[in-house]
């Protein structure tokens, strides 16, 4: 267990000099549960309690260090760091405890300055480091005893963050578990409404723990944690109560989304209160962001949205016993246009993004302004296959199913008008990019080989490297390869759910990048390239992605490849 029973000389090393010593809780004390509810108890303390989430604040370019002690070897350990409104740099390291601080020494304690130097002069062994704004975890089933240090730094701005550490991760489970498919589905899309559905958390359905769901709606971007949402919201309009029984699918408290709210809305709060840290701040400008907690339902209709406007939706499962939350995979949707605008106009040579709800259809129109001999339609389907039909002046020219990137060249006709009908997948919402042009040399999407699989050579696997190959084309393009470590139980079904080909390298972490290179071959039979990815860990699974980037800057992702290094060499 995390040792919070430290002798006074060692405790003085962890607390600022001159501060009054405080009694730190342990998992063995009867008052532990009462003490962790008092957030002020750990405010500005350098000690992380076992099994309780703490909230704190970082000033820009001012590092902060936390400590905890593990008494016994082979102890399970889990540490979770949640950035709120800015990326963090954090590092976890461990070093051996001073003899007198272990609680087993005898005789007079060493002088304070001597103990302090004994601890701070040792760098310790780095166990894990991370830089970014994701909720990141360090998990070990068998950790050594010692003094653990958690160092945090924000280089962008002053920011809030949260830390949780436990030596009993299997039994604690304070964060709600996500279902096998953590996506939010857009089941219905109107001009002013969007209906969302999601699979329930196993924490509620199997473990029978009290879970409620909170939806966050805004026009800017998705959020990775509820902490980030709270940082964005001002304290006066942070919450909206769940709709009353019988009104679940009626417009909630705001008449026009993101604007004037009921003056009484701030009198009642949801499951969590906003924290205030030290300095008083002036009221912030109102943001177009709202949160509504709806209890344990797993379907909800957001009302009073603006037509033809893109909104981002995030869902958080909240354990009401612990007040801790887990984020589902956020989604976005554009509300329908007004009824008079049923057809999207395509401009010659310009890429247009198209969103289609499940089983839905979208109509587009292309009317070249000049005479033309040929017209080219390039389609990039981001997820599942979509159906495309092209009619010229009412005559059907093309009817195909499109998966990945496809290009169709049709014979032109003076003053012709083309009507394109796109039909979405039955499995879920569809996203795609489409380009129509009368200029044959206008290529926004990179050319692809027929086979976009990545091949791994099993005989060339080692404990620290894997060798892969993929096909190219006769066109010179830029290829970038990325790697990401995944759990051993990561399977093909999970990989398929993440296979959004329209997400480019700009969405990946810099630490995941392996290399970029240019490649092509005039002999299509020899258009193949290989790469050896080194610096991997023994017995670990990795997901590999190859992106091909065209001259227009648009990228297409090859089929992801799951590989595993050898455990013994």
Q: Indicate which CATH number applies to the domain containing 369.
A: 2.60.120.680
- pTM of the predicted structure, to 2 decimals: 0.44
3-state SS, residue 365: strand
3-state SS track over 176-229: CCCCCCCECEEEEECCCCEEEECCCCHHHHCCCCCEEEEEEEECCCCCCCHHHH
The stretches of 73-173 forming alpha helices (DSSP H) are 112-120, 169-172
Q: Is residue 315 part of a domain?
A: yes
Q: How far apart are CA 475 and CA 482, in angstroms?
A: 22
Same domain for 401 and 385: yes
- Within 13 Å, how many C-alpha atoms sit on residue 270's CB side? 27
Structural domain boundaries enclosing 554: 454-564
The β-bridge relationship of strands 343-346 and 361-366 is: parallel
Same domain for 223 and 166: no
Structure tokens at 276: 């205030």
- Residue pair 554/444 in contact (Cβ under 8 Å)? The answer is yes
Phi, psi of 544 (to 5 degrees): -105, 135
Same domain for 360 and 320: no
Chunked into runs of 10 residues, the chain (569 residues) has average pLDDT values of 40 38 38 41 66 88 90 89 90 79 45 45 80 89 90 91 88 86 93 93 82 93 89 54 38 33 37 35 60 92 91 93 90 83 82 86 88 86 87 90 85 87 84 86 77 92 94 89 88 68 85 91 87 93 90 83 91
Q: How far apart are CA 230 and CA 200, in angstroms?
A: 23
Same domain for 167 and 130: yes
The count of structural domains within the chain is 4
Q: Per residue in 418-428, pLDDT tens?
A: 999 998 888 78
Same domain for 230 and 191: yes
CATH number at residue 301: 2.60.40.10
Q: How far apart are CA 447 and CA 430, in angstroms?
A: 22
Q: Is residue 382 part of a domain?
A: yes
Q: Is residue 328 part of a domain?
A: yes
Q: Is residue 16 part of a domain?
A: no
Domain boundary among 386, 412, 437: 437
Distances, alpha carbon 146 to alpha carbons 23, 107, 149, in Å: 21, 21, 10
Count of CB atoms situated within 10 Å of the CB of 51? 21
Q: Which residues contact 150 (CB under 8 A, 6 or more apart)?
A: 48, 65, 66, 67, 68, 79, 81, 90, 91, 92, 163, 165
Same domain for 550 and 475: yes
Q: Is residue 247 part of a domain?
A: no
Same domain for 92 and 61: yes
Q: How far apart are CA 222 and CA 314, in angstroms?
A: 6
Domain boundary among 402, 437, 472: 437
Same domain for 407 and 367: yes
Same domain for 332 and 305: yes
Q: How far apart are CA 2 and CA 167, in angstroms?
A: 6
Q: Per residue in 33-82, pLDDT tens?
A: 434 444 444 444 588 888 888 888 889 999 999 988 888 888 899 999 99
Q: Is residue 331 part of a domain?
A: yes
Same domain for 526 and 483: yes
Q: Per residue in 260-278, pLDDT tens?
A: 334 443 333 333 333 333 3
Q: Is residue 15 part of a domain?
A: no
Same domain for 461 and 363: no
Same domain for 180 and 327: yes
Q: Is residue 499 part of a domain?
A: yes
Helix (H) or strand (E) holding 483: strand 477-486
């Amino acid at each position: 267990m995390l040792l919070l029973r430290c002798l006074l000389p060692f405790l003085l090393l962890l607390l600022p000099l001159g501060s009054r010593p405080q009694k730190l809780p342990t998992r063995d004390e009867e008052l532990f549960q009462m003490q962790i509810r008092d957030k002020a108890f750990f405010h500005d303390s350098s000690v992380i309690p076992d099994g309780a989430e703490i909230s704190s604040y970082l000033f820009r370019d001012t590092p902060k260090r936390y400590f905890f002690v593990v008494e016994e070897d082979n102890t399970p350990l889990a540490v979770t760091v949640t950035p709120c409104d800015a990326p963090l740099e954090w590092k976890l390291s461990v070093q051996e405890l001073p003899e007198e601080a272990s609680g087993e020494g005898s005789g007079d304690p060493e002088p304070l300055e001597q103990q302090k130097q004994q601890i701070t002069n040792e760098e310790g062994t780095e166990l894990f480091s991370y830089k970014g704004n994701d909720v990141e975890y360090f998990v070990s089933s068998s950790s050594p005893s010692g003094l653990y240090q958690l160092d945090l730094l924000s280089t962008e701005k002053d920011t809030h963050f949260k830390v949780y550490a436990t030596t009993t991760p299997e039994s604690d489970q304070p964060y709600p578990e996500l279902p096998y498919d953590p996506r939010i589905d857009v089941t219905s899309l109107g001009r002013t409404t969007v209906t969302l559905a999601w699979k329930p958390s196993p924490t509620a359905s199997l473990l029978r723990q009290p879970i409620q769901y909170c939806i966050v709606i805004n026009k800017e971007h998705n959020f990775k944690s509820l902490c980030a949402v709270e940082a964005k919201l001002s304290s006066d309009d942070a919450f909206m109560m769940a709709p009353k029984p019988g009104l679940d699918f009626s417009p909630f408290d705001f008449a026009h989304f993101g604007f004037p709210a009921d003056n009484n809305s701030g009198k009642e709060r949801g499951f969590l209160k906003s924290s205030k840290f030290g300095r008083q701040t002036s009221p912030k400008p109102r943001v177009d962001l709202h949160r509504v907690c709806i209890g344990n339902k797993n379907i909800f209709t957001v009302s009073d949205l603006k037509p033809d406007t893109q909104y981002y939706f995030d869902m958080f499962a909240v354990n009401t016993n612990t007040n801790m939350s887990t984020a589902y995979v956020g989604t976005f949707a554009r509300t329908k246009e007004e009824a008079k605008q049923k057809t999207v106009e395509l401009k010659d040579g310009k890429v247009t993004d198209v969103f289609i709800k499940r089983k839905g259809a979208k109509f587009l129109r292309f009317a070249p302004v000049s005479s033309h001999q040929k017209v080219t339609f390039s389609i990039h389907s981001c997820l599942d296959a979509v159906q495309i039909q092209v009619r010229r002046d009412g005559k059907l020219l093309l009817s195909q199913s499109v998966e990945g990137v496809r290009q169709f060249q049709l014979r032109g006709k003076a003053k012709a008008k083309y009507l394109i009908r796109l039909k979405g997948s039955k499995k879920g919402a569809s996203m795609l990019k489409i380009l129509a042009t009368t200029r044959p040399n206008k290529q926004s999407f990179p050319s692809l080989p027929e086979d976009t699989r990545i091949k791994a050579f099993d005989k060339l696997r080692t404990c620290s490297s894997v060798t892969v190959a993929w096909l190219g084309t006769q066109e010179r393009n830029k290829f970038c390869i990325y790697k990401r470590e995944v759990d051993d139980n990561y399977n093909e079904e999970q990989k398929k759910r993440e296979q959004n080909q329209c997400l480019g390298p700009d969405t990946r972490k810099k630490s995941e990048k392996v290399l970029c290179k240019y490649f092509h071959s005039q002999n299509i039979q020899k258009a193949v390239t290989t790469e050896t990815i080194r610096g991997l860990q023994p017995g670990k699974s990795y997901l590999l992605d190859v992106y091909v980037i065209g001259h227009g800057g648009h990228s297409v992702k090859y089929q992801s490849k799951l590989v595993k290094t050898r455990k013994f060499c």
